[in-house]
Structure 1
Amino acid sequence: MFRDLSRPIETGMPTYPGDPDVTLAPDATHEADGYATSELRTGTHAGTHVDAPRHTLSDGQAIDEREVGAFAFDARLVDLRPLDPREAVGPDALPELCVLDDNVDLLLVRTGWASRWGSERYRDHPYLTAAATERCREAGVGVGLDTFGPDPTPTGGGDGESTEIDSDEPDGTPAHDVLLGGSLPIVENLCRLDGLPERFRLYAFPLRLRGGDGSPVRAVAEWEE
């Protein structure tokens, strides 16, 4: 069985604060030209995408330098719901290393924030502590999430309300740095996680962007019924 876990690429879709806006518009049309083409303008981290080490590490590997097989994963789903806005997820919330090491190379962390896609509240997602990602790095597993990423995202206040930020919330990209520093994948903005089995195959093949720091993907889960 197959299921698409990726967000549609469309004009005006949510993007990480400061990233380029996405536009998808007609270029040639059947009426005027006898065929159709479109112009797509997007950042490399729009929608469902995979990060390359170069994303946060200046000397990190680029997306096109990875073997294509590195984007086909034996995944394990861990459902952490319910979580509070901007809640820090520590290593105790994740499976033990012996379980992670059991033919798993990607841990898909479900926070429940996929349901907030399209609202300012999507920015207030829970995040992984550096210690949590160290557990993943020790086990040699990457991370997939239904959020903007494993680190906190700058808040937009959402729905006219201020979002209180804990003084212990880290600056920068420590969770990214731990994972990407170990050449481990990060797949972000996943969706449609309802009813997934605990174990499945995940395919998240990027565009072959020369020197790219990341790429949108068509993320597809596969499992036996």
Structure 2
Amino acid sequence: MFRDLSRPIETGMPTYPGDPDVTLAPDATHEEDGYATSELRTGTHAGTHVDAPRHTLPEGESIDERAVGEFAFDARLVDLRPLEPREAITAEELPEPNVLDPAVDLLVFRTGWAAHWGTDRYRDHPYLTAGAARRCQKLGVGVGLDTFGPDPTPPGSAKTTGPSRETEPEGTPAHDALLSDSLPIVENLCGLDGLPAGFRLYAFPLRLRGADGSPVRAVAEWEG
């Protein structure tokens, strides 16, 4: 069985605060030109996408320097629900090294925040603590998330109801920990409800020369 876990790329879609807006508009039309083409303007981290180490590490690999086979994953779903807005996900909530199948190379975290896509609340997603990121390093696994990313996102205009932001880490420590070991980060996944505990996840990026990330068509596959 297959399931698309990707966000549609469309004009005005949500983007991380400060990232470029996305527009998808006609360029040539059947009526005027006899054929159709479109113009797409987007950042490299719009919608469902994968981060390259260069995203937060100046000397890190770019997306086109990674072998294409590194974007086909043996994934394990980790259901963390219910979670509060901006709740910290600790190492204790992740699998222990001795119980995780050695074949697994991606943990997909279901936080429930996919339901808030398109609202200010989506910014108030849970995030990984430094200890959780180190656990992933020890496991040798990357992460997939139904959120903007593994680190906190600046809140929107709506009042934040979660824990005090004074306790949140600054910068991108979870990104840095994972990307420093070339562990993949797949962000803004959707459609995680009803997936089996184990599945294949394909998240092939565009071959963007020297880029720090790329939108992907994330697809889950499992035996029905």
For 2:22, the aligned partner's letter is V
Give the aligned partner of residue 157 of structure 1. Answer: 157
Mapping for residues 58-207 of structure 1, pairs under 5 Å: 58-158=58-158, 161-163=159-161, 165-207=164-206
Q: 1:207 to 1:112 in 2, by over 3 A?
A: same
Work out the CA distance in 1 between the residues paired with 2:176 and 2:69.
22
| Identical positions, percent | 78
Query: Displacement of 1:219 after TM fit?
Result: 0.0
Gaps of 5+ in 1: none
Aligned counterparts of 1:209 and 1:189: Cα–Cα separation in 2? 20
Match of 2:165, SS state, is coil
Name the counterpart of 1:11: 11
Question: CA–CA distance in 1 between the matches of 2:50 and 2:61?
Answer: 13
Closer, same or farther: CA 125–91 of 1 in aligned 2, 3 Å: same
SS in 1 for 2:131: helix
Q: Equivalent residue of 1:156, what SS?
A: coil
Letter of the 1:15 counterpart: T
Number of positions where the alignment pairs a residue of Structure 1 with one of Structure 2: 223
Kindly report the root-mean-square deviation, in angstroms, between the aligned alpha carbons of the 2 structures.
0.9
Task: State the TM-score, normalizing by the size of structure 2.
Answer: 0.98
Contact 2:85–2:160 (Cα < 8 Å) also in 1: no
Unaligned runs of 5+ in 2: none
Greater shift, 42-51 or 166-175, is seen at 166-175
Deviates more, 1:165-174 or 1:84-93: 165-174
Q: Which amino acid aligns with 2:209?
A: R
Contact 1:155–1:163 (CA under 8 A) maintained in structure 2: no
TM-score of the two chains, using structure 1 as the length reference: 0.97
Q: Report the equivalent of 1:52.
A: 52
Task: List per-residue Cα deviations over 1:127-175 (Å, max 9, x = no partner).
Answer: 00111011111111000000000000000132xx344643110000000
1:215 Cα deviation from its structure 2 partner: 0.1
Tell me what 2:41 maps to.
Answer: 41
State whether residues 107 and 141 of structure 2, in contact with CA within 8 Å, keep that contact through their aligned partners in structure 1.
yes
CA–CA distance in structure 2, aligned partners of residues 7 and 166 of structure 1: 28
